[in-house]
Structure 1
Amino acid sequence: MKHTRSRATGRTTLAQVAALAGVSQITASRALRSIASVDPQLAARVHDAAKALEYVPNPAARALASARSQSILVLIPALSNQLFIETLEAVQGILRPRGFEVLIGNYHYCQEEEEELIRNYLSFQPRGILLTGFNRSEAATQLLAKSGVPCVYMMELRQEHGIVCVGFSQEEAGAKVADHLLSRGRRKLAFVGAQLDARVLQRRDGYQQAIATAGFAPALEIMTPEPSSVELGVDLFNRILMEHPEIDGIFFCNDDLAFGASFEALRKGVKIPAQISVVGFNDLPGASQMVPRLTSVRTPRASIGEQAASSLLRLLDGTGQDTVTVDLGFELVVRESS
């Protein structure tokens, strides 16, 4: 049997897929969107037919037909950051089985770029939006508020009416690191930060507050808006060695910087932790293989993605609350470097 394509576009149509599978177009559409109510045997026939006919769904046509988009927008500040890759994978794992397509907006830690992405993507009428943190332009905030699109915020916490958020306290994590270093007898402390997004500054604030509460002098701050990297960690560590040789404990705002410092310490013969204790953040892959093994704050990256996506689905299903704060916590993983 010959299956012709649409004359207008040359694309295989949903009707042709349904005909080959021997089901209605409604059933074929539901099967291709992985709706759970479709009989598994029928769903398998539909997927086999779609594969045989090289069918590619048309999301624009689907949205026009239903007056509802099947897309979820996820806005993140950096695709180069392992932290957000793990979160995105978890988000997709929750949303795709429900038939949603994930639109990813990468705004490179730039509020203007995020605002433009929000403005452009809202024209696609997304069903929901997952956002990273709360620090964005006033115009972007107003766009979101006026759109009426359900939003869930990731990575940070805020107790506020109408806010659904999933994350952990960045301030408490910073304070935990300070308490740990002080408990190790470190008194000449430093905080090294790069990229300087709101979450980095929150960690810094928690770190400094805990030091002040303990009655000690504020930590030295080495801060740069440059993108975080292992190479930058080398440079900033060398700066501390040259300009502030008295420092005996360093909290790096993320593991990339701490990795660079650890490599440079090995090259220069600086003994960690005998001379300087080092703590990183996020407990990225490789932290436990460093020499010495790196103490770091383990963050629930995948769990944040899963819980945020699930919270958004509950909002869309009408079964979730419009004010929810989910605190997933963190863990200070103490290893040899401190």
Structure 2
Amino acid sequence: AARQMTTAIIARGHCHIAYLGARLYERTISKQKGYEQAMLDAGLVPYSVMVEQSSSYSSGIELIRQARREYPQLDGVFCTNDDLAVGAAFECQRLGLKVPDDMAIAGFHGHDIGQVMEPRLASVLTPRERMGSIGAERLLARIRGESVTPKMLDLGFTLS
């Protein structure tokens, strides 16, 4: 999903794109690898700014500030989640940068705030309610002693 979103940002003409990540969990690193692969596939240089702290709007603001200091030609960011992306968008608004013209910003999860902002935040939408429902069903089945297969289930995603 991260690879596809990064490819979509590149397709819109942005080529100086950074990955902003927080909470260095396996999923964060997996998204970073997808971003890096899309950048390399396009012949572009990947650049990441990562912190171990929890995600928040404030973290997104700080990460995009750091990315812009270290990578002045920055024209896009793909964030590990919508919290960081919303913070990055707030900072761009404060600076008078137009999103997505001056700075493309994309997140992950399709949180409500990102979907009602103007302009609407680009995001990887995951079927979170369905994921929770299936997870609960599988947990109850295991509690009843039933075998649950497969252990991993791909429910897909969409780009917004």
Give the alignment's TM-score, normalised by structure 1.
Answer: 0.45
> How many pairs align?
160
- Whether 2:101 is the aligned partner of 1:251: answer no
Paired AA for residue 289 in structure 1: V
1:260 to 87, 91, 95: 87
User: What is the distance in 1 between the residues matched to 2:63 and 2:148?
Assistant: 45
Q: Give the distance between the partners of 1:241 and 1:189, measured in 2 at CA.
A: 11
What residue ranges of structure 1 are gaps of 5+ in the alignment?
A: 1-172, 334-338
Percent of aligned pairs with the same amino acid: 36
**Superposed, which structure 2 residues align to 1:131-280 within 5 Å?**
173-214=1-42, 216-280=43-107
- Tell me how far 1:266 sits from its aligned partner: 1.2
SS at match of 1:236: helix
Mapped to 2, the partners of 1:247 and 1:175 lie a distance apart of 18
User: In structure 1, how many angstroms separate the alpha carbons of the residues matched to 2:95 and 2:128?
Assistant: 34
3-state SS of the aligned residue for 2:153? strand
After superposition, give the CA deviation of every residue in 1:37-76 in whole Å (9 maximum; x if it has no partner). xxxxxxxxxxxxxxxxxxxxxxxxxxxxxxxxxxxxxxxx
CA distance in 1, matches of 2:114, 2:5: 16
Please tell me whether the aligned partners of residues 40 and 46 of structure 2 are also in contact (alpha carbons under 8 angstroms). no
Aligned to 2:125: 298
**Moved beyond 6 Å, runs of 4+:** none
In terms of Rg, which structure is larger? 1
The whole-number CA distance in structure 2 between the counterparts of 1:321 and 1:229 is: 35
Q: State how 1:1-338 maps to structure 2 within 5 Å.
A: 173-214=1-42, 216-317=43-144, 320-333=147-160
Pairwise CA RMSD: 1.7
Pair 253,316 (structure 1): closer, same or farther in 2 beyond 3 Å? same
Q: Offset at 1:207?
A: 1.3
Q: Structure 2 regions of 5+ residues with no counterpart?
A: none
Question: What TM-score results when the alignment is normalised by the length of structure 2?
Answer: 0.90
> 1:275–1:315: structure 2 CA closer, same or farther, 3 Å change rule?
same
Shift of 1:211: 2.1
Give 1:217 shift.
Answer: 2.5
